[in-house]
Chains A and B, each alone.
Chain A
Amino acid sequence: MLSIKDLRAGIEEREILKGINLDIKPGEVHAIMGPNGSGKSTLASVLAGKQDYEVTGGSVTFEGKDLLELAPEERAGEGIFLSFQYPVEIPGLSTTNFMKTAVNEIRKYRGQDELDAVSFLKKMKEKMALVEIDQSMLSRSLNEGFSGGEKKRNEIFQMAMLEPKLAILDETDSGLDIDAIRIVANGVNKLRTPENGILVITHYQRLLDYIVPDFVHVLYNGRIVKSGTKELAYELEERGYDFIKSELA
């Protein structure tokens, strides 16, 4: 469903992604690990359409469409969801209103009618239960004053509401307590169907016990330098990144 070929992107003169190749097929879960600053979030942002990054080469197709031609909101309409590493605080906009707008704009993009108030509420209730989040948090200004963990849980709530085809989770586990990791993983696993794809960016093998990946990739210095199965994550946990660096040298 997602095919990234020799993707190069950077900011101003600096190249951050230096030729990424990655294929995600429906139903697959891929994990990306890699040292700080290696380009994981940059990749996620480029996939979501952040304008700050200039794509200087390569291609990305999503379900046959040239993803790089689409605006961020169109990508979301096509079914891409990014759980932000650092969710943005939005004063004066509640999660509820945010989601009402997002759900309906996406429906509009897909040529569907707006969700009526009753169906929307029903959906909210269902997803709130799924990620164990309560109403009071959804009425507050989005992410404003939320704890790190609350922000991440809210991201997963949004994902559950929008039911994307491809979810990209950028360090959704960081800042989560042990129970919350389980809850978040549970939310993600609900999305795991033969049609959907998931890309998990994480530093910790632990998350992958809950969201078991089909493939694990190591992103280092703007390139995927090693790919394997879930065992690779254990190896990294044990040995750190040094062995990869020495393999490369």
Chain B
Amino acid sequence: MDTITYFKDRFEKLQEQQLDSRLKSLRDGAFSAFEQTGIPTVKHEEWKYTRISDFFSKDYHFTTDLQEQQFRATELQPFLLPGHENANIIVFVNGHYHAEHSVLRSEELEIISLEAAAHNQYAGIVETHLGHSADYHKDGINALNTAFIQEGVFIHIQKGKTVNHPVYIYNVTDARSGNIFAQPRALVHVGENAQVEILETFATIGADESFTNQVFEIAVEENAVLSLYKIQNDAANSTIVSTTHVHQVGKSVANVVTISLSGGLVRNNLNMVMSAPYCEANLSGLYLQSGHTHVDNHTVVDNRQPNCLSNELYKGIMNGHATGVFNGKIFVRQIAQKTNAYQTNKNILLSGNATVNTKPQLEIFADDVKCSHGCTVGRLDEEALFYLKARGISEATARSLLLHGFALDVLEKIGSEDVRQYVNKLVTASLNLG
């Protein structure tokens, strides 16, 4: 059975079961988009270096087929992030939101299912923002997630409130009995003058293959501040396609830091859509890979209004046979005068077999803008290495000091002290191995 037929069966069943769903027509539209394009292959311009189609020729369980999973809180234990005890917790297992493992600690925060939100006072927000990422991703994998939205999660942050506890999102895939294809989905609405810090991670349990196709949409209102830290440190048998779509509806600040330390294949799509004047977006990323892993960061900064500022800094350290991709698009619409958009991508290859493809893509239709971009792919600086060794520092220590120094300005973008220290520890540990 080909992939489209496979999903069509399941899609039709889902639509029949949920006749009165408010999300039904959204799913319909998405499924026909999926039918037209299918799973993107390397022939697709945006997927040239990242092959995800192989997974679909294997046998796998799709989340709609699965019975409610037996999942115990202890199974989450190995993946807990520091500060877990004080955080609002959201747990997805195989793409399903698990309310019983989730914890709500902040009253400024509301967590309900997308389906429920589509029926209550949030219906307008859901209608405006759910599926907005599709405007930026004309490929079947994004559509496939939307086509199968069931409960999903809607997170609402009350206007004028600073969420006093961070929000931790665990995307767990249970691949203990067969390959799994999971599709977590969330929509976050950060109200006017609200502030929130979100930390998310991905974890695979079991030795079979996992494929997580996540779509995470966030709408940020006037004067709000969003900080999102994405930590990817998953197993070698995992594939992650993580689409994060930040829509700055009002003048606001959005900080997103993406740290990719391991995992079989990682594809991050990060969109910063600035739909109000004077928005600020900071996008940073560090990818540190070895073995046969692959990490691909595709970013889009869309300046739709004047006077917005974006700072983008991505750094990569690649060892072994690891392959990396950075693709940074910056759109400056005609009306978006006085845009300031900066982009840097720097890579260090530690092995002759590691590669990085880096590509800035600037499409500028306004004339009064400041845009800069620069990318480098190089080796560890031998002069610097000698300088350190001449001070008595061993080769291995010298290398890790230099690499840590290289990564430091990305780590410093992590605003939360706890998270920064934690990530720093992970980074240091993995640099010592290299």
Contacts and interface: CB of A to CB of B under 8 A. Distances in A.
Contact of B392 (A51, A88, A102, A141): A102
Q: Which of B389, B393, B409 has the most CB of A within 10 A?
A: B389
Contacts of A50: 386, 390
B392 A109 contact: yes
A101 B391 CA distance: 9
Interface string A45-87: 0001111100000000000000000011101110001101001
A90 B387 contact: yes
Nearest to B389: A72
Interface in B356-398: 381-384, 386-395, 397-398
A82 B390 contact: yes
A76 B392 contact: yes
Given A90-B405, A91-B405, A92-B407, A76 B387 contact: no
Contact of B402 (A48, A72, A93): A93
Contact of B384 (A81, A88, A101, A162): A88
Given A92-B409, A101-B397, A101-B401, A49 B390 contact: yes
Interface in A30-48: 48
B409 A76 contact: no
A202 interface: no
Given A76-B392, A77-B392, A101-B393, A91 B406 contact: yes
A217 B402 CA distance: 37
Q: Which of B383, B387, B391 has the most CB of A within 10 A?
A: B391
Contacts of B409: 91-92
B402 A90 contact: yes
Contacts of A52: 382
Q: Which of B390, B392, B398, B408 has the most CB of A within 10 A?
A: B392
Contact of B405 (A71, A84, A92, A109): A92
B51 interface: no
Contacts of B408: 91-92
A76 B405 contact: no
Given A88-B383, A91-B408, A73 B392 contact: yes
B387 A88 contact: yes
A65 to B, nearest CB: 15
A88 to B, nearest CB: 4
Contact of A73 (B383, B395, B402): B395
Interface string A154-182: 00001000100000000000000000000
* 3 A-B pairs with least C-beta separation: A92-B405, A92-B408, A76-B392
21 contacts: A50-B386, A71-B395, A72-B386, A73-B395, A75-B390, A76-B389, A76-B390, A76-B391, A84-B387, A87-B387, A88-B387, A90-B387, A91-B405, A91-B408, A92-B404, A92-B406, A92-B409, A93-B404, A101-B401, A105-B392, A162-B391
Interface of A: 48-52, 71-73, 75-77, 81-82, 84, 87-93, 97-98, 101-102, 105-106, 109, 141, 158, 162
